């Protein structure tokens, strides 16, 4: 083995000999990942892969001196360490939000990982709500190319290890929230939602991707953000379908006035003139939500209430001993400047005393629900929404969209 290394490197005694130990020491300081198979290819991997290389086969270090490769190994930027320290968050919280293990983060901030993996840098910074442009600027300092569609599977895999536990965790807007929603959906169980409209999971893909995005400094970064959001939506929908098949329940509480304001702002005459394509998509969105209530009324319950809560929130796995609550704030206006991004949106929590407050809110919402609609559910909900669309001259379009979905008992959505 050493003869081969000497031949490849041109190093011969008394020069320093690069031994297999040197290679392992170098790999210990790197996070190298096989792009095809997605598995770690650092020192531990190669030690498993080269069982025939025993200690007796390794040449001694010249003159009894230990060489660990650090003299010639390039040292990369410590920018990601600076970002972690500047965040003010402890490693445990960053680990939970990013899906990157606590031991890995500890080694990273201790300087024991010279060049963190590209997906690690991306997931850490996404958990701290950095833009794609900002992430790309850091990746360049580690000799990585900007984020590309090929990087999405590793980022999504990290997000699958995300945890929502141990108290209050900050919740940010934009792509952070999309990553969080996938993690919440994966928990399963009963979902209770208090909102001004049905869950965004019912939005057609085109409508969901029309939402507000922060400014990116270049087109490639904006394109990647769009691609990542699209993949996250697809994964979330797949998990939602699996949860429906498993019999998990979705119960939504909607303020009547908020829903009417939403419809007026999206399918009213002025909205249709300004954005006709969006208006058509909103019709399909509402048809998607109603179709599940009509097909599975015991599983999808929509309650229209005479109450407007201060909080919009989601309680996941509500019937378990450890529910998770996500409570974002309401953002009414968009300025799209340097102060209008990386915003604290709210918090997620599993703290029992806080969860109890939100359970009390659910009880208040349930008491304020329109009991006349519930007495004839889901037909009452169908009639209510049909009348709402009729008020905006869109009843025929709504019924046509709904009929297409109701032609089969299977769950199909626009």
Domain boundaries, the chain: 2-64, 76-163, 164-405
Compute the average pLDDT of residues 377-384.
Answer: 97
Q: Which of 63-67, 92-96, 186-190 shows the lowest mean pLDDT across its residues?
A: 63-67
Distance in angstroms (rounded) separating the CA atoms of residues 375 and 243: 26
154 has a pLDDT exceeding 70: yes
Question: For the domain bounded by 164-405, which CATH number is listed?
Answer: 3.30.870
pLDDT at residue 31 in the model:
52
Sheet holding 250-255, edge to edge: 169-172, 344-349, 324-328, 313-316, 191-195, 250-255, 300-305
Residue that is written with structure tokens 């046509």 in the block: 400
Topology of the domain comprising 76-163: 434 Repressor (Amino-terminal Domain) (1.10.260)
Question: 73 falls in which pLDDT band (50, 70, 90)?
Answer: low
The first and second tokens of residue 94, run together, are 């960053």
Which band of pLDDT confidence, cut at 50, 70 and 90, is reported for residue 341?
low
- Comparing 268 with 27, the larger pLDDT belongs to 268
Query: Could you give the dihedral angle defined by the CA atoms of residues 67, 70, 71 and 75, in that order, rounded to the nearest 10 degrees?
Result: 170
**pLDDT digit string (tens) for 125-148?**
999 989 999 999 999 999 999 999
> What pLDDT, on the 0 to 100 scale, is given for residue 339?
73
Query: CA-CA distance, 71 to 196, in Å (whole number)?
Result: 61
Query: 76-163 and 164-405 share one CATH topology?
Result: no
- Is pLDDT of 228 > 90? yes
């Amino acid at each position: 083995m050493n003869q081969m290394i000497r031949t490849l490197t041109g190093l011969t005694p008394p020069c320093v000999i690069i031994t297999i130990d040197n290679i392992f020491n170098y790999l210990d300081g790197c996070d190298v990942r096989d792009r095809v198979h997605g598995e770690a290819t650092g020192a531990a991997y190669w030690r498993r892969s080269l069982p025939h290389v025993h200690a007796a086969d390794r040449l001694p270090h010249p003159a009894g001196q230990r060489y660990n490769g650090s003299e010639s190994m390039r040292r990369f930027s410590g920018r990601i360490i600076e970002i972690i320290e500047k965040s003010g968050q402890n490693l445990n919280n960053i680990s939970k939000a990013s899906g990157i293990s606590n031991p890995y983060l500890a080694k990273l901030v201790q300087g024991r990982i010279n060049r963190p993996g590209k997906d690690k840098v991306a997931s850490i910074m996404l958990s701290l709500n950095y833009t794609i442009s900002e992430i790309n600027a850091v990746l360049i300092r580690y000799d990585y190319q900007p984020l590309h569609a090929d990087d999405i599977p590793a980022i999504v895999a990290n997000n699958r290890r995300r945890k929502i536990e141990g108290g209050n965790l900050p919740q940010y807007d934009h792509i952070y929230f999309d990553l969080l929603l996938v993690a919440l959906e994966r928990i399963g169980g009963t979902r209770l939602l208090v909102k001004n409209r049905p869950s965004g999971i019912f939005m057609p893909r085109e409508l969901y991707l029309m939402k507000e995005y922060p400014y990116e400094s270049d087109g490639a970064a904006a394109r990647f953000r769009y691609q990542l959001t699209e993949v996250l939506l697809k994964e979330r929908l797949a998990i939602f379908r699996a949860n429906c098949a498993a019999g998990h329940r979705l119960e939504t509480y909607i303020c009547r006035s908020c829903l009417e304001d939403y419809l007026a702002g999206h399918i009213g005459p002025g909205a249709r003139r300004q954005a006709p394509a969006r208006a058509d998509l909103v019709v399909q969105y509402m048809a998607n939500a109603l179709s599940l209530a009509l097909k599975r009324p015991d599983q999808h319950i929509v309650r229209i209430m005479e109450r407007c809560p201060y909080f919009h929130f989601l309680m996941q796995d509500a019937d378990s001993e450890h529910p998770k609550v996500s409570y974002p704030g309401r953002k009414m206006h968009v300025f799209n400047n340097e102060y209008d991004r990386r915003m604290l949106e709210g918090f997620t929590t599993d703290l029992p005393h806080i969860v109890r407050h939100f359970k009390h809110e659910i009880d208040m919402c349930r008491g304020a629900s329109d009991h006349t609609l519930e007495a004839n559910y889901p037909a009452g909900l169908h009639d209510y929404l049909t009348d709402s669309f009729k008020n905006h001259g869109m009843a025929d379009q709504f019924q046509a969209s709904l009929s297409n979905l109701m032609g089969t008992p299977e769950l199909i959505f626009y």
